[in-house]
Amino acid sequence: MSTSNCPGLLHIVPTRDGGICRIRLSGGMLSAAHAEALAHAAEQYASGPIDVTNRANLQVRGIRAGHEAAFSMALIQAGLGPGGQCDLSPQAAAAQDTVRNLMISPVAGRDPAATIDTRPVAEALLAMLLAEPRFAQLSPKFALMLDGGERLAMREHPHDIWLLALPRTCPDADACVQFAFGFAGCPPSGIELASVSRAWGATSPSQVTALVRALLHAFLDLAQPGQSRMRDLLVTHSPEQLLQQARTYLDFAPAPVPEWPQTIPADPMLRFGPHRQRDASRWWIGAQPPLGRLDTSTLRALAQLAREVSASSTLHMTPWQGVLLPDVAQQDIDRTMSALTRLGFACTGREPLARMIACTGSSGCARALADTKADATALAQRLGASHDIHLSGCPRSCAAAHQSAHTLLAVAPGTYDMYRRDGSTGFGTCAARHVSLEQAAGEIARSARSTSDV
């Protein structure tokens, strides 16, 4: 089994503010009952906040020493463990928990722009991941993405294996749908023949599970010690070699992707406010908790709101560290928006903290060089408007897997190096070093004015 310091259901990692437990959610979905069970367990065994992660999971901080096992078992017994099973042994739960890194759109099956409803494919993938004991050897960070062509989709996060539904080429809804796939990156915006992130083939929805299974076995066959992610393997092996090894596990050959079709661009701003679903009588409503952070009373309030207004009584976490309520009737939109506003959530992308990301910072992490959560709040107050900003307490960039328009990397308390997105690796280009929050606010405001004047 892979060893890692990555938090999990039964691998609670000690930090400055107590233990961390990461709860992996299938498709980011949390039922109202599960939300209430999680709030209850956190109140009993933890003293810290609950964070929404950038892979649409939840992370509980401040778990008290000596209560780790009780907290984990409370979640398993509530059905928050692998496969929703409440009778797993700790050994079985630990072996299965870390392989559940599958991202889908928070509105899969509901977005009217989608090519296909990915939920049945995602369920089959998760069942396969849990059924194969060998996959416990994968790194807890090894991640898969299944994109159904939704407009509300996170396509900037790099994944070890990604699959994107191509636009339909015939009227029959699902019969002619194909998923293009690639490795160690994101779906390309155009065909990128010289790039690892290009599409390396396509397959039908019914073949996706077999393909991913073969690719995972091939990865484990070829990976050497220290090669825990697909990007590591591709340093020593070509994608062609990986595919050749995968074919030993397949009874079909993936189809080629001769041209990259025109796909509908994703619109992350659809994570805010109400939007009509595929079923025109229902809406999803998205909102952003301040810096992706909840407390137990807020989580309980969200659960109660979901029971009252969501036909499915569910909450969906988003990879932008937000929350979405699906299946809301039109007559309940105003009351839902008002309730979310009372909870302190941003319901539009214009509010100061709506698009700001910050890691835990020095209040909870020994590696962080600044209190990034407090600094982010102070920076938002200085700017007074929404900007795409990421504050990171150290170079690991735990809070953001993608490159933000502006990144502030802490070098000392209240002092940051400032980077701007330019498409290069890492945080982008360093625009200024050792700036205060006031100086950073001025630079960001000037940059925004300059961009708007172009």
pLDDT for res 367: 94
Query: Quick one: 126 and 241 in the same domain?
Result: yes
Query: Quick one: 78 and 199 in the same domain?
Result: no
> Of residues 173 and 296, which shows the higher confidence score?
296
Q: Whole-model pTM? A: 0.92
pLDDT for res 424: 76
Q: What is the pLDDT of residues 151-162, one digit of tens each?
A: 999 999 999 999
pLDDT band at 195 (very low <50, low <70, confident <90, very high): very low
In a domain, 347, yes or no: no
pLDDT for res 448: 78
In a domain, 259, yes or no: no
Answer yes or no: are the C-beta atoms of 4 and 141 closer than 8 Å. yes
pLDDT for res 191: 44
pLDDT for res 193: 39
**CATH code of the domain covering residue 300:** 3.90.480.20
Q: What is the pLDDT of residues 28-85, one digit of tens each?
A: 999 999 999 999 999 999 998 999 999 999 999 999 999 999 999 999 999 998 876 6
Tell me what the pLDDT averaged over the chain comes to.
Answer: 91
The SS3 call for residue 261 is coil
Query: Quick one: 122 and 163 in the same domain?
Result: yes
**Rounded percentage of the chain residues whose pLDDT exceeds 90:** 80
Lowest mean pLDDT among 40-44, 283-287, 387-391, 444-448: 444-448
Query: Quick one: 120 and 226 in the same domain?
Result: yes
Closest by CA to 218, choosing from 192, 254, 193, is: 254
Residues 80, 83: Cα–Cα separation, whole Å? 8
In a domain, 181, yes or no: yes
Domain termination site, one of 222, 249, 276: 249
**CATH code of the domain covering residue 241:** 3.30.413.10
Q: Which residues pair with 409 in a beta bridge?
A: 392, 417
What is the total count of domains within the chain?
3
Range of the domain at 127: 115-148+155-249
Query: Quick one: 325 and 419 in the same domain?
Result: no
Query: Quick one: 272 and 233 in the same domain?
Result: no
Answer yes or no: are the C-beta atoms of 317 and 294 closer than 8 Å. no
CA 292 to chain centre: 12
Query: Quick one: 139 and 232 in the same domain?
Result: yes
In a domain, 419, yes or no: yes
pLDDT for res 100: 84
Q: Helices (H) and strands (E) in the chain — how many of each?
A: 11, 20
Query: Quick one: 435 and 409 in the same domain?
Result: yes
pLDDT for res 385: 85
Mean pLDDT in residue range 166-176:
68
For residue 170, with 0-12 CB atoms within 10 Å meaning exposed, 13-18 middle and 19 or more buried, which class applies?
A: exposed
Ramachandran region, residue 28 (left: φ > 0; alpha: ψ -120 to 50; beta: rest): left
Q: What is the pLDDT of residues 265-292, one digit of tens each?
A: 899 999 999 999 999 999 999 999 999 9
pLDDT of 451 strictly over 70: no
Residues 55, 430: Cα–Cα separation, whole Å? 26
pLDDT for res 257: 84
Query: Quick one: 445 and 370 in the same domain?
Result: yes
pLDDT for res 331: 98
Residues 67, 203: Cα–Cα separation, whole Å? 46
Query: Quick one: 61 and 121 in the same domain?
Result: no
The SS3 call for residue 148 is coil
Residues 294, 171: Cα–Cα separation, whole Å? 44
Q: Which two tokens stand for residue 69?
A: 């096992």
CA–CA distance from 315 to each of 275, 286, 322, 323 (Å)?
15, 10, 10, 7
In a domain, 254, yes or no: no
Query: Quick one: 71 and 160 in the same domain?
Result: no
Mean pLDDT in residue range 441-445:
94
Query: Quick one: 24 and 70 in the same domain?
Result: yes
Domain termination site, one of 223, 249, 275: 249
**Rounded percentage of the chain residues whose pLDDT exceeds 70:** 91
Would you tell me the crossing angle of helices 32-45 and 296-309 to the nearest 10 degrees? 170
